[in-house]
Amino acid sequence: MRRAAVAETTWAPSARSRVHPGVILVLVCGVQFMVILDLAVVNVALPSIQKDLGLDQADLQWVVITYGLMLGGFLLLGGRAADLLGRRRVLLAGLALFTISSFTAGLAGSLGQLVVSRAGQGLGGALAAPAALSILVSTFAEGPERTKALGVFGAVGGSAASVGVIASGLLTTGPGWVWIFLVNVPIGVTLVALIVRYIPAAAPAARGGRADVFGALTVTAGLIAVVYAINKSIDYSWTSGTVMGFGAAGIALLASFVLVERRAASPLLPLAMLRRPTLSAANLAAALVFGSFFATIFQASLFMQQVLHYSPLRTGVAYLAMALVSVVAAAGVAPRVLGRLGAGWTLALGQASSAVGLVLLANAPADAAYWADVFPGFALVGIGIGFSAMSVQVAAFIGVEKAFTGLAGGMVETAREVGGALGIAVVASVALARADDVLAHLGGGPAASALALTEGFRRGSLVAAGFNVAAIAAALLVVRPAERRTAQTEPAIDAEPIAQPALAD
């Protein structure tokens, strides 16, 4: 089966001549912005959602991680579907599903409806995001033109999370948390209309193949079962039937995924890619980096509002330090460090910065002052994510032939989303367990509750810092040696034939 030629232009000349590439760039960037925005926009609104829907503290994480699991679990399938069915068609389908799910999320009156809606948003994003990237790559010729367009696309995606926490604070303080979802509806409808008008339809890039739907279903179901087991460990012991049952089911489903991929004619994830140590280390590092980062955003939002009594708006503004520092680090400093030291050392330095920042946050008292106790940790975490986000992407392509760069990129994006969801599940479970233990020891009362939540935040920050330390080990023990080998041996290493990639080159 031939590889999907997504890097080649497939627009009809007559159609393409009517559309300015800049218009297409704006539209696909708008789609990417919405998808990434919804990873972060919920966090600041969590206490308000909890109060209005009467949710338990342990249930809050599902509002965030359901989106990440669905987005990560179906991302490679979305790329493959775009190749087989047509990029614009899949982009419109994903965007429509995302918009409808945003509407139902805004109307949610229960945890179940909200979680199902978030799952729909994640699936819609998983269809739309790779299709948007594929359209961009097909629109701009390889070279400086495409590089510039990809830079704009990446910058828009990178800024979306920062904008998300500010927007969440503004909307939650103003019209209410439901509007963090409902605001997507007019934007989504507008994007659909403009895409139909300005992005020409094109023939599918691949013919005669199949999408590995069963593979996507098994891996996503397995991850959800594992996360559910972690979540329920708060209420039950790790040896309880509920926790062990769902944990065993999740492991069985993930094992089934391996068997499915081994036998599939067109696998979602060719297993030969997992035999590349550097790529596997980069994926592990991406999961650890974003597991720590998203977990920090999740629990810091709760800490600032439930313990420090910040308003949603003040919480969003408090994240400006982290956002601005990360932008400066990513755009102004990280490229220079990476050019001098390589991806391995840059990733290690970034994760060391995040680890130190989280240790500082782990010492924050229940009456923490922002500038003395919160800002230094936020700034160091911002430096860390600014260095690390770029480094894991570069590391993922070390020794990977051009024919498989699309698949490698899709794998690292999947690792980022899945790692973020798993990181939130682990850190939130540890933090809540610690808070429950402290509260049981101290008894009731507002002061005891604040101290218990603070102790939970501290323990969670230390666990997140542990993720950073593990990422440092992966960077120095695997990524850095691979960089040295690649510099000494050309062409790229590990040229084993692999089935066609699912995403764009």
Measure the N-to-C terminal CA separation of the chain; round to a whole number of Å: 17
Question: Comparing 89-93, 137-141, 358-362, 413-417, which segment has the lowest mean pLDDT?
Answer: 137-141
Check pLDDT > 50 for residue 42: yes
Residue environment code for 320-350, b if the CB has 16+ CB neighbours within 10 A, otherwise e: ebbbebbbebbeeebeebbeebbbbbbbbbb
pLDDT tens digits, one per residue of 53-111: 999 988 999 999 999 999 999 999 998 888 888 899 999 999 999 999 999 999 999 99
What gap in Å lies between CA 40 and CA 470, rounded to an integer? 24
- 392 closest CA partner among 351, 357, 421: 351
- 286 closest CA partner among 203, 212, 350, 378: 350
Question: Comparing 164-178, 218-232, 251-265, 317-331, which segment has the lowest mean pLDDT?
Answer: 317-331
Alpha-carbon distance values, 125 to 37, 41, 101, 136, 320 (Å): 11, 15, 11, 16, 26
Check pLDDT > 50 for residue 285: yes
Check pLDDT > 60 for residue 8: no
| Confidence at residue 390, expressed as pLDDT on a 0 to 100 scale | 83
pLDDT tens digits, one per residue of 286-314: 999 999 999 999 999 999 999 999 999 99
| Confidence at residue 208, expressed as pLDDT on a 0 to 100 scale | 61
Question: Comparing 21-30, 72-81, 146-155, which segment has the lowest mean pLDDT?
Answer: 146-155
What is the residue-averaged pLDDT of the chain? 88
| Confidence at residue 382, expressed as pLDDT on a 0 to 100 scale | 92
Check pLDDT > 50 for residue 213: yes
Tell me the one-letter amino acid at 225. A
| Confidence at residue 272, expressed as pLDDT on a 0 to 100 scale | 87
pLDDT interval class at 426 (50, 70, 90): very high
- 31 closest CA partner among 112, 126, 103: 126
Contact 29, 156 (CB under 8 A): yes
What gap in Å lies between CA 260 and CA 14, rounded to an integer? 42
Structure pTM? 0.88
Close Cβ partners of 332 (under 8 Å, ≥ 6 residues apart): none
> What is the SS3 assignment for 8?
coil
| Region 269-298 average pLDDT | 92
> Packing angle between helix 405-442 and helix 213-232, nearest 10 degrees?
20
The sign of the torsion formed by the CA atoms of 448, 454, 455, 456 equals: positive
| Confidence at residue 1, expressed as pLDDT on a 0 to 100 scale | 36
